[in-house]
Each structure stands twice: as structure tokens, then as C-alpha cells.
Amino acid sequence: MVNIASLWQYLALQAPLHSSMSGEPLNLTKMGLTTYTLPALPYAYNALEPHISAQIMELHHSKHHQAYVTNLNKALESHVAAVAAGDVAAQIALQQTIKFNGGGHINHSLFWKNLAPAGTEETRADAAKGLVAEIDRTWGGLENFKKTFSAALLGIQGSGWGWLVQEGGHGGSLRIVTTKDQDPVVGGDVPILGVDMWEHAYYLQYLNGKAAYVENIWNVINWKTAEERFQGKSEDKLEEKSEL
């Protein structure tokens, strides 16, 4: 025998799906969908040469990062539709795609801004006086920090990222962490600077010379951005698409 109360609840949950099946297009924006756009690089594709080639930068930004944004948006649209349809299984099936592509979008957005052309004011460590003082306290000097961070980067197995974070929020202790694949920094830790250790970040130029990539990345680290993040003054916001 059908339990009427349960049936009513079931139909109520399915109602949005029925209206979407009536031919009326779903207005995903009204349904709370936020989608994202590829941020422009704050410098030209060749600006980080000779340390990172223009070819790598162009592919990395316009193809790889763009793919994360495109796939994230598609997954978010599907997720909103699955919520509207009350399809929990479909929502669960989308979680990994959202995590991977959302992480890819967040990580690369942070990465572009913590790089700058070599020899500019931004790449001088004295652009990060507060951060460097804390690095000195934590690692006994900038050179020792770079050595420790580089070792962590080279210790990543497969694809991933290395991060300097403030543990648990602004004012927290500095710590070096690595994340796998496109997992972003989570749990309240504040990313100060990140380095992409996927092969697409260096292979076209450095081939299997991962250590040389890591050695050279220090020439293009944007210490000014790192200091702003350390001080809680950065404007790291993901750009949203205004409409579908």
C-alpha cells in the first residue's frame, strides 16, 4: 500500500523536474548558478622568459586553465539542474568533476598572480618584508626556506602543487604543504604562494629537468603578492560570469 504522505513528499521533490520537462527552459542564473571566466594574465605570455617560455605560458593559460573553467561551469550547470530535479545520485556523481576543475581554476588563478617578470620590483624578496621576517623565524632564513620548499616540490609524486600557507587563517604559522592533482588548499589555511608541479607547467621547456624548473621558478616569484596575501590584503577573487 502506498503511503500518501511519502508519495506527496516524493512528488513535491520531483516538481521542479516536471516543470523543466514541460518545455520551459531552466533559468539557471535565477536558480543560484554562479559560473566563472578565465582571468587575464597580469603580464604578457613571454614576460616570464627565459625562466618559463611563452609557449608554455600560452598553452597553460589559454588551453589548460581555460579547460578547467569550461568544465567547472558545465559541471555546475549540471549540478544546479540535478538539485532542481531532486536527483541526488546525479549530484553525487558530479562532486569529483567539480572538485577537480574547481580546484584547477582556483589554483591557477592564484599561481598567475604569484608570478612576475624576473628583475622587477615584485620579484625582490624585500617586497615582502613582513613575510620574509616570519620566514626567517620559521626556517632560519630565506635561503633555507627556498631549499625546504624546493625539496617539497621535488618530492611530489605525479601531479600536484606545492604551497606556502598560513595555517588556520591569517596570523597562523607558516607551513609548507603539497596537494595532489588539482586539490586546492582547504580547511581555513591561507595560500601565500603556490607552484604548479604538473608536467604541463614545465615539460615543453625543461623536459625531465624538473629540478631546473624548480630552481628557476624562484626568479619569477611575485613577493609583493605573497606579502599582500600574508598581510590579508590581497584581492584574490574569482571572476564570475554575469550571465549564462
- Give every strand in the sheet of 174-180, ordered side by side: 174-180, 160-166, 190-196
Residue with Cβ nearer Fe ion (108 or 224): 108
Task: Choose the stretch contacting Fe ion; rule: CB under 5 A; options: 36-44, 137-145, 192-200, 225-233.
Answer: 192-200
CB–CB of 229/201 below 8 Å?
Answer: no
- Residue number with the smallest Cβ distance to Fe ion: 196
d(C-alpha 68, C-alpha 65), whole Å? 5
Taking the complex as a whole, the smallest distance from the CB of residue 84 to Fe ion amounts, in Å, to 33
Does position 161 interact with Fe ion (CB under 5 A)? The reply is: no
Give the per-residue contact string, 115-154, with Fe ion (x = CB under 5 A; - = no): ----------------------------------------
d(CA 224, CA 98): 31
Closer Cβ to Fe ion, 117 or 160, answer by number? 160
Instruction: Tell whether residue 108 is among the known ligand binding residues.
Output: yes
HSE-CB of 229 using CA atoms within 13 angstroms: 24
236 carries a ligand binding annotation:
no
With respect to Fe ion, which residue has the nearer C-beta, 83 or 238?
Answer: 238
Contact 125, 131 (CB under 8 A): no
Residue 196 or 228 having the CB closest to Fe ion: 196
196 is in an annotated binding site: yes
Angle at alpha carbon of residue 237, lines to 121 and 109, rounded to 5° = 65
Which is closer to Fe ion, CB of 79 or CB of 113? 113
Contact call for residue 196 and Fe ion (CB under 5 A):
yes
**Which C-beta is closer to Fe ion: that of 134 or that of 199?**
199
- Taking CB under 5 A as the binding criterion, the range among 132-140, 194-202, 219-227, 230-238 that sits at the site for Fe ion is 194-202
Give the whole-angstrom CA distance, residue 96 versus residue 235: 27
Select from 192, 234, 196 the least CA-distant residue to 217: 196
Give the cell for residue 205. 621547456
What the block records as the C-alpha cell of 105 is 581554476
Could you tell me which stretch among 136-144, 189-197, 215-223, 236-244 binds Fe ion (CB under 5 A)? 189-197
Q: For residue 200, say whether it is annotated as part of any ligand binding site.
A: yes
DSSP state of 84: H
Binder of Fe ion out of 161, 198, 213, 223 (CB under 5 A): 198
Closest CA to 244 of 30, 81, 22, 46: 30
Which residues of the shown chain bind Fe ion in the complex (CB under 5 A)? 196, 198
Residue ranges at the known binding site: 60, 108, 196, 200
> Which residues are documented as binding site for Mn(2+)?
60, 108, 196, 200
